[in-house]
Structure 1
Amino acid sequence: MARKSRVATPAAVGASKVQHLHNRNFKTSPPPSPGLPYLSMEPPDGDMLKGAPFGDAPYIPSRNPSAYSPLHTFELPKGTDKHYGQQYADMYFLRLALLRKAVKQKAEDAWSDFELGQEKASFVERVLDVRQGQLCWIVGTVYMEMALKPNVLDDISKEHWIAAPPPRETYVSSGGQDEMMLEDESGRLRVTGESLNSHYVTGCVLAALGTEQADGTFQVIATQYADLPRQPQRWEREDSALSRAKKPKPKRERAGKLAIISGLEITGVDDDELSLDLLLEYLTGEATGPPTQTEAAQITRLIIAGDSLSHASPILSREDFAIKKSKSKHYGYDASAYNASPAERFDTFLSDLLPTLPITLLPGASDPANVALPQQPLHTALFPKARLYAEPPAKSNETIHGLDTVTNPWDGDIEGYRVLGTGGQTVGDLLKYVDEVESLEVMEMMLRWRCIAPTAPDTLWCYPFQDDDPLLLKDCPHIYFAGCQDTFGKRVIEGPAGQKVLLVSVPKFRTTGLVVLVDLESWEVELVEVGVVQPQPAS
């Protein structure tokens, strides 16, 4: 179980901030000169002849620097190199081509000596080449035919002002009409069997062992998938760079803690102020007393995983749109439809935090970024105060000590560990394909399928990659987190070659007030609840 602590304050009418008294016998006096702290030892009664003699100043904990190196795996081409003229179907064929070898090897290791009724299983190259009654195994991409799954006609109807169907909580039909198919370059083959209850979804590549039935369906006995890829050693990337440069390895201090929050959903109104102020005071070490301050000093980096801003304005109805269109606009800009308060409040929050703690900022579904995955970094022009702490583009390959606006998904090395994270859209969309499955189970299966967004571009918008698909997992991460989830969860999974991955499901801060802390040495996960303690009525 994750250790859980609480940072809270009593609710007070008219209180804008929480003041903390660390020692009742001391009070803070104005510093004699700017930038020089000064503590007065004056006792409460004002008599300087009483009390203990002068002692050393109280210890102020400090933070260690964060060893941080992003990978830029999910950055899209710039300018004319980025275009959308490709066919999206090519992405699934590309994934099949890239994963076929690994899946085939896993199937051969499992079924090379498999016999049923004195018949030995054989491999069939194409799914449409199977023969009735033949015991064989095939490799293909899963396609789920689901009645409730959205299609492109819904998007077309929105453009023509036809009322689109409301968003669905699940794609699974109650009547059991959903069908599963395996497809490759030759075509599709409908598959059935009890072994398919492993919650496969559209886009995952697997091998299926079975026989074709009289009705043309393929009865599956067992399945195999690629499983976790090779996992780099800790500090492998940094050590190899030092080796190429013929430099000695530096002495590395003990790693600190990684803080992860998501779902701030800042609206810019007064109800955000207290929770954000408490969060800021905790992360900067101003909250509560010395024990909590010492623990907060162990946090060396903060990751904000999506949905930092709430939706500024809803989609207008046809009548409201016609009214706004009739109003005069200057240069196509309608000031009444724009609300800068959420971005300004978030900018202030970042600028107050950045002098003491480096931040990695991922966009989310409600943030002002492109909708299709991979989402590109939030532009620093949104944060005129915080962008002063952002690294210039020329230093993008160096260690970043301030604000790093990154893509969603994102991967990089923190304290030598490979970290992979998303804003939660990939997990949320995949959960609609299955019933009674938790976020951690979905995250584990995506890693074992070696694809962190298998349902893109079928039901999740995505850039049409052609030559290479960064959504395929080439290296196994050490830590994999997903933001904006309903509940918190953690799990450590293991791979066939001894890989170990820490999975973390990060809940929304706005609804739970939870901050997730990951100790990068012990991999212990701690929950810190930031909130307001409501006063209890007198009995």
Structure 2
Amino acid sequence: MSLTNVTENIVQERKCIEFEDFKRFKLSKDKKYDKQYSKIYNARLKALRDVLTKNALSKWGDYKILTIKNLAELVDHHESSIIIGTIYKHQLLKPSILKEYADEAQVKSQPASKFFSTEKDNLYIEDEVQRVMLSGGHVHPMEIVTGVVCAVLGYQLDDGTFWVEDYCLPGICPKKISTIDIKSPVSTSSSSSLFSDKYSSKKLLLLSGLDLYNTPDSMQFELLTEWITGIAGNDDSQENSGSICQVIFAGNSMRGTIETFEHTGFSGPKNKYTAAAKDTILAANRFDDIVNEIVQACCVLVMPGECDPTNYSLPQQPIHPAILPKSSKYKTLNVTTNPWIGKIDDKIVAGSSGQIIRDIMKVSSLFNLSPLEWLEKTLIWRNEGQNIRLISIPKFSETQQAVIVDLETLETSTITFGSCWKGNNDYDDIDDDNRDDDKSDDDDDDDDPNKTDKFNLYSNKSMNYGIDSDNDDLM
């Protein structure tokens, strides 16, 4: 008598969601470069003037609110008053095309610098008509950047500068109480688990910095595609991967670094440049293969990064379909701009590949603040008009980590695709059925500290935000 084990086939159905690309940063064929930033600054000042007026009067009481032009009309120049305007920071180390040209022509050398802020920087506040220099120690140049709209309290000195006694910012938008806020509060505690709720319906998977140009073929990419497509893991793992309704590659997928060449003597490294171009093509083909596997099972959004093959200046335009010939055949692939804003399900999602925050960090030189903290500062400066969840995505090529976002609760968590090393690691194996619970079988290999126990997929207990100080791509 023979017995046959019958295994029930469980089919995981991936949920469909609404997707809309607002195409806000898509440039027309007739590109125009004659517009200046002044209109943008004036529009933001006009939009935030009433908010700052209310905040200033609430904080300081009944002071006169004047324009910069009206300061000269005061009888007593030392009478304190309030000015509302846009901050401009004058920086000596800020890159200039004229300085670069002078450096190249060996007229005057410009010292190379990774950061452009110094103690000698000067702050100005300007409105629609004119500007005035700020003095005093209440507004530190390293804590603020050009374009921030604020209100300052103080008086004008005899030398024409405005002495700042205090200042205030627009602040974060008032939080709107909603049904989600009451019934499903956003969790940011480390006790929350990626797999705590099997029935959580819709999730996003965010990745950045695959850097296939500098990353050899590795098991991490196979684990990534197999988990998303439902091949890897047990039933619970497949059920949770089935809840991923959108995968977002947030830039620098093909390349994570850029090689620069001087114009002088450029013919020398030309062969090296040609070889780099060939390697970039190979990296693009590898990325196309990865995306091609995923788009057959899930919707994918590909955003270009600073080093990907598209235009360098912001806004970067979508990667050309010819670079992704295999995956571009599927309607489930969306190639977008950088920055990008659109609608996924009932949520507005906006993101960039990180250049904006990195530029803010360059002109601030506050090394003790993380990219996520600078991203939070943009909310205090009110560069956004919505209640949002801030997410900083780690570089996948270095951490093998991706970020999962629950679209219902906005809860975030990280998931790692990599090898489980021997030692005291604080990891939970997702594939419980394949885990070797017999510790005695591994006793012979304990002397090798570098031995890979097995390749597996694990969830990092340290949840919430993934931060990489070298290359943060932000959603």
C-alpha spacing 1:440/1:535, structure 2 compared with 1 (3 Å) = closer
Q: Which amino acid aligns with 2:68?
A: R
- Given residue 278 of structure 1, which amino acid in structure 2 is its aligned partner? L
Question: Which residue in the other structure is 1:104 paired with?
Answer: 49
Displacement of 1:335? 8.0
Paired residues in the alignment total 399
**Contact 2:42–2:127 under 8 Å retained in 1:** no
Equivalent positions of 1:263-302 (< 5 A) are 263-267=209-213, 271-302=216-247
Q: Paired residue for 1:18?
A: none
Structure 2: which amino acid aligns with 1:79? K
1:380 aligned residue? 321
Residues 22 and 343 in structure 2, CA contact (< 8 A), matched pair in contact too:
yes
Amino acid at match of 2:250: A
1:538 paired residue number: 446
Q: Distance in 1 between matches of 2:64 and 2:161?
A: 18
TM-score by length of 1: 0.67
**Residues 357 and 293 of structure 1: is their aligned pair in 2 closer, same or farther, counting only changes over 3 Å?**
same
1:428 corresponds to 2:358: yes
Q: Of residues 3, 22, 33 in structure 2, which corresponds to 1:71?
A: 22
Q: Are residues 1:189 and 2:132 paired? A: yes
CA contact (8 A) 1:378 1:406 kept: yes
Following superposition, the deviation at residue 190 of structure 1 comes to 1.5
Taking the TM superposition and a 5 Å limit, the aligned residue runs for 1:211-290 are 211-228=155-172, 255-267=201-213, 271-290=216-235
Distance 1:445 1:268 in 2: 33
* Structure 2 match to 1:124: 66
1:326-341 alignment to 2 at 5 Å? 337-339=277-279, 340-341=281-282
Deviation at 1:122? 1.1
2: distance between equivalents of 1:164 and 1:389?
51
SS at structure 2 position matched to 1:275: helix
Equivalent residue for 1:441, pick from 359, 373, 395: 373
Q: CA deviation at 1:312?
A: 8.1
Once the two structures are TM-superposed, the CA of residue 356 in structure 1 deviates from its matched residue by 0.4
SS at match of 2:236: helix
Contact 1:103 1:139 in 2 (8 A): no
Equivalent-residue separation in structure 1 for 2:347 and 2:51 (angstroms): 27
How big is each residue's C-alpha offset from its partner over 1:440-474, in whole Å with a ceiling of 9 and x where there is no partner? 221122234343xxxxxxxxxxxxxxxxxxxxx4x
Correspondent of 1:303 among 248, 252, 268: 248
Closer/same/farther in 2, CA of residues 276 and 412 from structure 1, 3 Å limit:
same
Residues 175-209 of structure 1: per-residue CA shift (max 9 Å, x gap): x2222111234333111344424921112122222
Give secondary structure in 2 for the equivalent of 1:501: coil
The one-letter amino acid of 1:57's match is E
Cα deviation for residue 355 of structure 1 reads: 0.4
What SS does the corresponding residue of 1:196 show, helix, strand or coil?
coil
Alpha carbons 1:255, 1:415 under 8 Å: kept? no
Deviation at 1:295, TM superposition (A): 1.3
- SS of the aligned residue for 1:260 comes to strand
For each residue in 1:245-303, what CA deviation from the matched residue of structure 2 results, as whole angstroms up to 9, or x when unmatched? xxxxxxxx97411110001111176x233221121112212223222111111111011
Does 2:320 match 1:370?
no
Is 1:408 matched with 2:338? yes
Which AA in structure 1 matches 2:146? T
**Alpha-carbon distance between aligned partners in 1 of 2:59 and 2:109, rounded to the nearest angstrom:** 50
Partner of 1:504: 391
Identity, % of aligned positions: 27
User: Conserved in 1, the CA contact under 8 Å of 2:306 and 2:312?
Assistant: yes
User: 1:136 and 2:85 equivalent?
Assistant: no
Q: CA deviation at 1:61?
A: 1.9
3-state SS, counterpart of residue 164 of structure 2? strand
RMSD of aligned residue pairs (Cα, Å) = 3.2
Structure 1 residues 417-450: Cα deviation after superposition (integer angstroms, max 9, x where no partner): 1111110000111012141222222112223434
Instruction: Please give the TM-score of this superposition, normalised by the length of structure 2.
Output: 0.75
Structure 2 letter corresponding to 1:204: V
**1:170 maps to 2:78:** no
Task: Give the drift of 1:135.
Answer: 1.8
